[in-house]
Structure 1
Amino acid sequence: MNKILSNTKGDRWIWLIVILLSAISMLSVYSSTGTLAYKQGKATEVILFKHMLMIFGGIALMYISHKLDYRYYAGISKVLMYITVPLLAYTLVFGSHVNDASRWIAIPGTGFTFQTSDLAKLALITYLARLLSRKQENIKDVKNSFIPIMGSVCVVFVLIALANLSTALMLFGVSVLLLIIGRISIKQIAIVCLGGAILLAAVMMLGPRRHTYYSRINSFMHPEQADPDKSFQSSHAKIAIATGGLFGKGPGNSTERNYLPQSYSDFIYATIVEEYGFVGGLIVIGLYMFLLYRCVKIVTKAPKAFGALLAAGLSFTLTIQAFANMAIAVGLGPVTGVPLPLVSMGGTSILFTSIAFGIILSVSRHIDESEASKIEGTKEKTANDVSNNKIIVGEIGLA
């Protein structure tokens, strides 16, 4: 254990945030899965144990990811993109259908399902960071730089949006932020946004889930006219938050967890606020805000463009997703299937989120090691200068 801790590098504050969010996750999932356990005929402890295995597995993946030099992820991203695009297409055609959406594919022989959009988020961000960093010399070249960048963003956006529009929109927004950081011209960014708007309109008007999108937007815009069945989740989430008060009802005392169908995943923030109150909800927000702050510090210190873009893209993805989930829980947006990173119960979501944290920590580790080597070099140079001065003084004295 001591050897593992001594080999754990990178930003210590980010490690602490991950541990705190994992602890909050275990408490909240254990509290909110009673109904799920009853439906599945299992003990709540069994579900908690599986969730804890995912969390510890995620931390193990984060440790492995942070030990790998972040520059290797440039080559890995290309392979991931070659895997991701056909995998997303396969999911749309042959994936498991849940709530009229085909987002998962079954892993043969395991009983687990795999959400391909989780892999797609990681693949696209790392691939964009690679393209933008390698094409800085000719970033305004339309044929060699702009078209490959725009093509990768739009293809992944469409393939995800057909089944999971909210995730696709967040990923598209992060991609645009990366284009801005990567010095893409305003004109080219406007073209990307226009292309995204056209694709969005096509998905919403012609896509297989267009009726679901209309229903959710209408329920959000006109809650007084909405079908009670359509606004059921958002209504009970608001009740949970409203009854939480300042310090909440206490751990395990939530009542709305018995009514919210996704109290352990999409609406886990409502459960947290109900049980731990305004203070508990504020602590969770503060952790994600502090995470963004630490990641921005890593971005500003990164010596290479790829490391800066990689840390920026992954941190923006995690924090935007977190605040989108919390905004939906408090009624600031239409209901979507967006989990709270590292807190919501999940399988592949936790694992890929942990890998993203590991990559950010890999960039941080490289910065720390570079700074340490500079300090060591400065000390060695100073020691050599002092030694040379002593020799010169001695020679003068002998003379």
Structure 2
Amino acid sequence: MALSRADTSTLGRWWWSVDRWTLAALFTLVGFGYVMVLAAAPAVAERIGASSRNMFFAKQVMFLAGASAVMAGVSLLSPKGVRRLAILGFAGALLLTIATLFIGAEVKGARRWLNLPLLGSLQPSEFLKPCFAVFAAWLISEAKLAGRRGTAMWGAALVSYLGVALVLQRQPDIGMLLVVSSVFFAQIFVAGINLALVGGLGLMGVSGIVGAYFLFDHVHKRVNQFLFGEGGNSYQVDVALEAFGAGGMMGVGPGEGRMKNVLPDAHADFVYAVVGEEFGLMICLLILGLFAFVVVRGMMRLLAETDLFVILAASGLLTQFGLQAFINMASSLHLIPTKGMTLPFVSYGGSSVIAIALGMGFLLALTRKRMSRAEEGTLT
């Protein structure tokens, strides 16, 4: 059913105000998620002795369907509604992330997951990322608008960041901490604070990375393995590179890949390697282009925006989305040290895909064409 520009219903106003190009790019990535979990997951399920070869695929179908609903539903909100939901989400996700330190399931030396009745395994820090981006944007924008009276809001923003950073460091989840820190620093830079302070924060970030290298054994091993080829286990990276090489320009064909049979995280952190083998360089570049399009398109939409909160929140969400995609693809290609981080919407994962959908729903809501105040007030 076609929607007329004269349609004043909630759906009609949404359709003519949302960025349909970004929406199309995101749902195309969701489509790739269905294709890739069907290609990679059965081999993984068979290798680990799962009850069904389609176990991961069946779960991911539900995850992606839920993610699509979340993204579409959240995109209906006004900026005020986005802010309210993000503040509540930040408080809840932070409490649950703190809870992982005490009652979380330990996997490979890290406590990042909660085993909840009915819901199964949940990684609350995934939801912390998009909610913190919006929450921090609200605090920073309020501080900037208050001028010299905004010291308390600046303090609240810094304390919030340091609290999140401390919890993530204790899990430990250094990759997640890197993403959250990048979002926060990017928002401060966009807000236009003193360059000396930006430099100081940058120095603090570099010091944190160096400290992680010396304090965390798994970080030390991964960096040494990447730089010097010593220590650590490079098996997955080596297999991933073989997969890219085998795929060539056009790939070996859907379902014909062989490396997924021996690649432990073929359906999750290394799904991009499966794409490379079965679909080739051209589809890899297409996926890369879709991520770049979402980020660039979002930034272009912000050029005409005057609301500082919207600018900062959307900038943080775009930074997070683009950086997560870059880390996943660059790790698979051995361009950076390996880091277990999913490829948004394409990799298997429940918490990750729903949290990414929440963040992109926030983005779509914030970058909609602004209507009259009366109309905006109906979706708070």
TM superposition score normalised by structure 2: 0.89
Instruction: Mark the CA change 1:84 to 1:121 in structure 2 (over 3 Å): closer, same or farther.
Output: same
What does residue range 81-120 of structure 1 map to in structure 2 within 5 Å?
81-110=90-119, 112-120=120-128
Q: Secondary structure at the match of 2:264?
A: coil
Question: Is 1:292–1:319's contact at 8 Å kept on the other side of the alignment?
Answer: yes
The residue that corresponds to 2:351 in the other structure is: 348
Structure 2: state its 5+ residue gaps: 4-9, 376-380
Once the two structures are overlaid, the 10-residue window that deviates more, 337-346 or 39-48, is 39-48
Deviation at 1:366, TM superposition (A): 4.0
1:270 equivalent to 2:301? Answer: no
Is 1:337 aligned with 2:345? no
Matches within 5 A, 1:1-399: 6=12, 8=15, 9-38=17-46, 39-110=48-119, 112-139=120-147, 143-162=151-170, 163-206=172-215, 210-223=216-229, 225-226=230-231, 230-367=233-370, 369=371
Q: Letter of the 1:56 partner, please give it.
A: A
Structure 1 spans left out of the alignment, 5+ residues: 374-399
- Displacement of 1:242 in angstroms is 1.4
Distance 1:233 1:116 in 2: 26
Structure of larger gyration radius: 1
| 1:2 positional shift | 6.6
Shift, 1:118, TM fit: 0.8
Structure 1 residue 226: deviation in Å?
A: 3.7
Q: Is the 8 A contact 1:174 1:317 kept in 2?
A: yes
User: Could you say if the C-alpha distance between residues 339 and 140 of structure 1 is closer, same or farther in structure 2, counting changes exceeding 3 Å?
Assistant: farther
Instruction: Kindly provide the CA deviation profile for residues 261-303 of structure 1, in whole angstroms up to 9, marking residues without a partner as x.
Output: 1111101111101111110111011111111121112211223
Which AA in structure 2 matches 1:115? Q
Amino acid across the alignment from 1:357: M
Q: How well do the aligned residues superpose, as a CA RMSD in angstroms?
A: 2.3
Rounded Cα–Cα distance in structure 2 between residues aligned with 1:140 and 1:43: 62
Please report how far the alpha carbon of residue 140 of structure 1 lies from its aligned counterpart in structure 2 after TM superposition: 6.0
Q: Any idea what the Cα deviations from partners look like across 1:100-128, whole Å, max 9, x if unmatched?
A: 11111112233x21112111102210111
Q: Is the 8 A contact 1:103 1:115 kept in 2?
A: yes
User: Equivalent residue of 2:303, what SS?
Assistant: helix
- Distance between the aligned counterparts of 1:33 and 1:101, measured in 2? 24
CA distance in 1, matches of 2:298, 2:264: 34
Moved more, 325-334 or 27-36: 27-36
In the comparison of the two structures, how many residue pairs are matched? Answer: 364
> In 2, are the aligned partners of 1:150 and 1:192 still within 8 Å (CA)?
no
Could you list the structure 1 runs, at least 4 aligned residues long, displaced by more than 6 angstroms after superposition: 1-5
TM-score (normalizing by structure 1) = 0.85
- 1:47 positional shift: 2.4
The residue number in structure 2 matching 1:392 is none
Amino acid at match of 1:184: I
Letter matched to residue 132 of structure 2: L
What are the superposed Cα offsets for residues 178-204 of structure 1, whole Å, 9 maximum, x if unpaired? Answer: 101112222322333344445555555
Q: Deviations over 1:33-72 (max 9, x none)?
A: 1233222433333421221111111111111101111222
